[in-house]
Amino acid sequence: MTENSLRLEGQVALVTGGARGIGRAIATRLAQGGAKVGIVDLAEAGAGTAQEIAEATGVATTFFKADISKEAEAKAAVAAVEEALGPVDILVNNAGITRDGLILVMDEAAWDAVLAVNLKGAFLMSKAVLRGMVRRRHGSIVSISSVVARRGNAGQVNYSAAKAGLIGLTKSLAREVASRNIRVNAVAPGYIETEMTAALDEKARNALINQIPLGQIGSPQQVAEVVAFLASQEASYITGAVVPVDGGLGI
Ligand code: NAD
């Protein structure tokens, strides 16, 4: 499949947490497919990312700084992206954080922060784009869950609960808005090459790789390809799906 074979031209995509990592790869891939891209991120670095994507792909991009776990900021972010680029057709709920720790040392703040960004943020952003999508009878939402939603992970009760919650949100919302021609899906990445995995020593890295049937850590681009597909018209008969991108880790 060539980069531009996905039908994304003329679409407006909003990617939360698009400043770096997987979100950046998703924003870039959507732009390569011809979509205009709005990056919404807490980090100011999102402005530079948006500019680099515009220069590399020639599509219009914009950046809005917001904390998507706050309703007023989520609403303002959608309004700002729509003002700059037009009505949002595609929302990617990618912003996420971790505050790991075994439950006996995990404090309430670590639980609340992870649930607020990973789960409530997706609820608030989805709600903020949906009024327009329902009116236009058109839209696609893709949320980034994780393999730990189904498998669990010691030290991540907050994160895996939030990521499992995203799957429930995805399936319920898919049922709510299907009659309005809006699709809602999720991807569940496994271990993806980020600063976190790059920092592992060779022994820890090999132990990780040994658990993965395909025998390698994934790349942000491999996640971005699946997100772009689910967001596009090529996936017009797919809703309520949770697609693993994990090298078989979740089998
Ligand atoms: P990352 O930390 O590199 O990037 C996350 C981005 O989200 C950052 O730019 C950050 O500023 C932004 N962000 C954080 N809180 C925010 C908030 N309240 N409002 C707006 N923006 C906020 O993370 P990543 O590794 O690229 O992960 C992206 C997504 O993929 C996350 O949802 C993560 O849980 C999920 N995921 C990652 C992996 C992995 O191996 N990296 C595996 C499975 C799932």
Structurally, the chain folds into a number of domains equal to 1
Nearest CA to ligand 1 atom 3: 21
Q: Is residue 56 part of a domain?
A: yes
Is residue 3 pLDDT above 60, yes or no?
no
Is residue 169 a part of any domain in this protein? yes
Q: Is residue 205 part of a domain?
A: yes
Please give the pLDDT value at position 133.
98
Which CATH number belongs to the domain containing residue 23 in this structure? 3.40.50.720
φ/ψ of residue 182, rounded to 5: -115, 130
Measured between alpha carbons, how far is 101 from 82 in angstroms, rounded to an integer?
39
Ligand 1 centre and the CA of 139: distance in Å?
23
The residue-averaged pLDDT of 74-81 equals 98
- Ligand 1 lined by 64 (C-beta under 6 Å): no
Residue in 93, 124, 76 with CA at minimum distance from that of residue 18: 93
pLDDT at 196: 66
**What is the predicted pLDDT for the residue at 49?**
98
Q: Is 80 within the bounds of a domain?
A: yes
Closest CA to 20 of 193, 216, 244, 200: 193
Range of the domain at 131: 12-245
97 Cα–ligand 1 center, Å: 6
3-state DSSP assignment of residue 73: helix
Q: Is residue 2 part of a domain?
A: no
Give the mean pLDDT of the chain.
96
Considering the domain boundaries, does residue 143 fall inside one? yes
Read out DSSP for 85-148? H-S--EEEE---------GGG--HHHHHHHHIIIIIHHHHHHHHHHHHHHHHT-EEEEEE--TH
> Is any ligand 1 atom within 6 A of the Cβ of residue 224?
no
Q: Is residue 71 part of a domain?
A: yes
Most informative mutation of 40, 42, 120, 211 for ligand 1 (most atoms within 8 A of CB): 42
Residue-wise pLDDT tens digits, 130-173: 999 999 999 999 999 999 999 999 999 999 999 999 999 999 99
- Report the run of H or E that residue 26 belongs to, with start and end: helix 21-32
How is residue 212 written in tokens?
């993965």
Residue 7 banded pLDDT, cuts 50, 70, 90: confident
Spatial contact of 120 and 73, defined as CB atoms under 8 Å apart: no
Is the minimum distance from the CB of 189 to ligand 1 under 6 angstroms?
yes
In a domain, 5, yes or no: no
